[in-house]
Every structure is written in C-alpha cells, then in structure tokens.
C-alpha cells in the first residue's frame, strides 16, 4: 500500500509492526513518530512491535588523530604557520555533529543512558525533547575531544521492566566486559536479538554520532566530567535535531549548541 502511514486506511488490526525507523543518534529524522501513529491506529492489544525497545547512550571520547588531522594541521602547513585559520577550521570541522566510527579505545568512561524507549508505550510528545544530566569519571589520562552517542535496539523479550525504566535514564551503565566497553543487555538475552551500534561492535552504517568540542580538555584518571545534554525537534524542520550540550571538568565550563540537519 503506497501512502503516508498517517493517511493510509486499513480496515483491520494487525499482529506485528516492523519498521526500521532508527536514524543517526537514534532520533534523527524523527521517523519513530510515524511508527507510533501506526501502532495507535492498528496494533492489536498484545501485538508486537519490532524492534521492541531502544536505548540511546552517550560517553566522552578522546580522538587525537581526528583532531590533529582537522585542526593541528593548520599550525604548520608545509612549514608555513597558518594558525590564523584555527578558529575557522574548528567551526567548519566541529560545528555540526559528525557521523564517524570510533573504537572502544576512544571512549573515556562508562556511557550514560540518555533515553530508553519502549516502542509499545512511548508517545510522540515524549520524543519532542529528550534530555539527561551526567556526572561521570574518566577512566584514563587523555584529552577530552568530545562526546559520542550510539544506540541499541532489541527484538523480542522486553529488555527492561516498567518499574525500572524511569530510573534507567540518566544513569551510568557499568555492566561491561573487561575488554573495553560492552553495551548493556537486559532480561533474558537468549530470548532477544540485539542490534548494537556501540563502538566495540562491528561498524554499521549508523556509525556513532560525535559531538566534538572546540577546545580539548586534558583530564586525568578519575577526573569528573559533568553536564547535561538536550535533544529537541527543530521548529525549522521536525526531521532536524537541536542539540544543547553543557559540560564541565576541573575549572572549565562550556556550552555547545548545534543542529543536526
């Protein structure tokens, strides 16, 4: 049937709704709203949503190679000091979110859960603005170059129960393997399939969404990195995301705002 899901007419309820609605950073393009519309119009009581749950994560990262390639290059271009280009280079390279693949070695701390979504219950209004506060500890001495966001989606058995869902958001995920980070799995993993875009998993076309900061911050092991992040639908275009990031470490505090177009 060809047409907008909000306008198509189906004269019966359905048992299953399957949709690949996930965008970069999970919520980019806001396609989940159309799936929610289909669910509310046609899904039978007790029907199945696939994927059934989704979780958005964020963690601070270090990426000296990327920063050197984009920024430090201008300090000496074939022996010529072109550092006057640095402000423009930072703006051009890092003003908007970057879709890149990183590895677990780039991640500085345990990730936080920015948003957990139960596809059978989430509302459109709930997705208009997603926000989370964070206070995390660096696992190593390194330069903080930005923050990475990625997601998992689950098919099958619910990955979290209703009672703990509200307490899950804005918390730090610490059930990782010893070899770098490992995305959190909930419930009986034998009854579910997880599609993960985490840095330690094989790369996908979603990669990770990187919010690079303009001025790196040198952090030591166990140094606290705190702040908040807010993702909201753009009034210019509901498919776009407005991003408001506040972060602080040591005596340094910054605010970064950008739009994912």
| Residue 83 DSSP label | G
Count the Cβ atoms, other than its own, within 10 Å of residue 221: 11
Q: Quick one: which of 19, 64, 51 has its CA closest to 151?
A: 51
- Annotated catalytic residue 29: yes
How far is it, in rounded angstroms, from Cα 206 to Cα 195?
11
**Number of residues in the chain:** 261
- Cα–Cα dist 83/102, whole Å: 27
Residue in 32, 142, 53, 150 with CA at minimum distance from that of residue 101:
150
Whole-number Å distance between alpha carbons of 129 and 226 = 20
- CA torsion through residues 213, 67, 178, 197, sign: positive
List the catalytic residue out of 20, 69, 126, 257.
Answer: 20
Answer yes or no: 236 catalytic. no
Task: Give me the catalytic one of 7, 12, 13, 29.
Answer: 29
Active site members: 20, 29
């Amino acid at each position: 049937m060809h047409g907008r899901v909000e306008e198509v007419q189906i004269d019966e309820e359905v048992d299953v709704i399957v949709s690949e609605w996930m965008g970069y950073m999970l919520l980019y393009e806001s396609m989940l709203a159309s799936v929610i519309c289909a669910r509310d119009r046609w899904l039978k009581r007790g029907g199945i949503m696939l994927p059934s749950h989704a979780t958005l994560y964020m963690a601070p990262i270090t990426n000296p190679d990327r920063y050197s390639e984009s920024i430090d290059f201008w300090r000496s271009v074939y022996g010529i000091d072109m550092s006057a280009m640095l402000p423009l280079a930072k703006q051009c390279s890092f003003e908007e979110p970057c879709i890149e693949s990183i590895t677990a070695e780039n991640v500085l701390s345990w990730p936080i859960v920015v948003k957990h979504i139960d596809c059978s219950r989430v509302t459109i209004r709930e997705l208009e603005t997603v926000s989370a506060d964070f206070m995390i500890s660096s696992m190593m001495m390194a330069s903080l170059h930005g923050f990475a966001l990625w997601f998992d989606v689950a098919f099958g058995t619910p990955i979290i129960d209703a009672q703990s869902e509200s307490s899950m958001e804005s918390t730090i995920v610490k059930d990782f393997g010893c070899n770098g980070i490992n995305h959190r799995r909930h419930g009986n993993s034998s009854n579910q399939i997880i599609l993960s875009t985490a840095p330690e998993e094989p790369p996908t076309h979603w990669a990770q969404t990187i919010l690079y900061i303009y001025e790196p911050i040198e952090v030591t092991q166990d140094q606290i990195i705190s702040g908040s992040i807010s993702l909201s639908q753009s009034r210019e275009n509901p498919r776009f995301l407005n991003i408001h990031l506040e972060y602080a470490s040591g005596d340094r505090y910054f605010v970064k705002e950008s739009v994912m177009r």
